Amino acid sequence: MDNLRKFTPPWSVQEGEDQCFRVYDATGFFICAVSHREDLHVRRYQYAENHMNREEARRVAKAISRLPDLLRRPVY
């Protein structure tokens, strides 16, 4: 079990230029991206509800970045 990859906490969220929020670990290793399409919600696109807006994507990325804190084992 010691050879498992560990993503060192804390994780951070950065907004990318390509309409996404990126989650990185403490060493700068890329973990995931959460995309959004704000332009579809502004223009009232017919299928805009199938895509997250900017605020929803930011909240999802922030929740992902909190996972190391939530999954930390308690010290007994």
In a domain, 62, yes or no: yes
* Residue (of 20, 21, 3) closest to 11 by Cα position: 21
In a domain, 41, yes or no: yes
Kindly tell me if the per-residue pLDDT of 1 is higher than 60. Answer: no
pTM of the model: 0.81
- From the DSSP assignment, how many helices (H) and strands (E) are in the chain? 3, 3
Its domain, for residue 58, covers: 12-67
In a domain, 33, yes or no: yes
In a domain, 29, yes or no: yes
In a domain, 3, yes or no: no
Total domains, the chain: 1
In a domain, 7, yes or no: no
In a domain, 56, yes or no: yes
In a domain, 72, yes or no: no
- In tens, the pLDDT along 30-51 reads 999 999 988 887 777 787 788 8
